[in-house]
Structure 1
Amino acid sequence: MSNIQTLKMDVDSLNAFLQREFPQWTEEHGSRVIATTGDGVVVELPYSDSQLRPGGTLSGPTMMGLADTAMYAAVLSRIGPVALAVTTNLNINFMRKPEPRPLVATCRLLKLGSRLAIGDVALTSQGDTDMVAHAQVTYSIPPQR
């Protein structure tokens, strides 16, 4: 897409930033960026029994957290380490019961402006191509000083 900027943070720098700024998420849940793409990132979340809700499915908050983390990483991959970029909207549709295995979030930036970023996140169970959830996420980018 023409409005998506070039890469400013690679996989290693994104993971180091997330570990430094959000150790509670990366240490407790183990999520990590596994790839950058032409218009976004791919983030993986290891499976844990602590993510289950009654009925044996992964919880909605787990999937929402992964979608949000993927969008944050996608935005930072293009604008650099701006810790105060924040979620302004996250809409998620749960499509099918995820398998009890790692989740993969593939985030695609649709628009990256000076103040807002809009993205699309597809969540799948590792090794499967069928989406378990789909999120649309908007981030606010703080003004440059």
Structure 2
Amino acid sequence: MSGQAAAEFDVDEARRVLGEVFAPWVQDLGLSIERLDTSPPPAAGPDWQPGATLRMAFSERLCRNGGIVCGQALMALADTAMVIAISAASGGFRPMTTVDQTTHFLKALASSDVLADARVVRLGRTMSFGRVMLLSAADNKPVAMVSSAFVML
């Protein structure tokens, strides 16, 4: 990716997209942009992938009975994180829609923010594919693994 493309989609632009593109209920999740990875760091290996890290702040409103963060909120976080990651890898937001999302829940999460580490596996002209690791911000342990596919509109 060229330096020019990376400069077009920075954290400020990602925040703008997060605030203007997504439905109000997604905005109510309390998501924030932690980091964008648009070019490989100096020590990156050949398996490096562009992406983004988002944070979902803990809220009792996102919990089901028993104080566990609900799966629906986790899935929405993963989906949103992939849109931001694909936008970062593309050098700007492109309209897209999810055509597939598979979530494997690994453990219950209570009383912690959630980090979504979204990576673009394949960026295509008409289809893009990604993976997201959802991690407890309290101990950095995996909560869920998500794979997804998006059609570029």
TM-score range relative to shorter protein = 0.7 to 0.9
Spell out, residue by residue over 1:70-97, the C-alpha distance to the aligned partner (whole angstroms, 9 max, x if none). 0000011122122x21111000000001
Q: Which TM-score applies when normalising by structure 1? A: 0.87
Equivalent in 114, 124, 131 of residue 142 of structure 2: 131
Equivalent in 87, 101, 107 of residue 118 of structure 2: 107
Displacement after TM superposition at 1:67 (Å): 0.3
1:20 aligns to 2:32 (yes or no): no
Displacement after TM superposition at 1:20 (Å): 1.4
Equivalent in 27, 35, 52 of residue 63 of structure 2: 52
Q: Which moved more, 1:57-66 or 1:18-27?
A: 18-27
Q: Is the 8 A contact 2:89 2:120 kept in 1?
A: no
**Counterpart secondary structure, 1:64:** helix
Could you list the structure 1 runs, at least 4 aligned residues long, displaced by more than 4 angstroms after superposition.
none
**Counterpart secondary structure, 1:136:** strand
Any stretches of 5+ residues in structure 1 without a counterpart?
none
Any stretches of 5+ residues in structure 2 without a counterpart?
40-49
Q: Is the 8 A contact 1:67 1:121 kept in 2?
A: yes
Spell out, residue by residue over 1:13-68, the C-alpha distance to the aligned partner (whole angstroms, 9 max, x if none). 01112201226145411102110124100000111101111122110100000000
Equivalent in 105, 112, 115 of residue 94 of structure 1: 105
What CA distance in whole angstroms lies between the structure 2 residues aligned with 1:108 and 1:31?
17
| Cα-Cα RMSD | 1.6
Q: Is the 8 A contact 1:45 1:102 kept in 2?
A: yes
Q: Is the 8 A contact 2:107 2:143 kept in 1?
A: yes
Q: Which TM-score applies when normalising by structure 2? A: 0.83
Q: Among the aligned pairs, what percent are the same residue?
A: 26
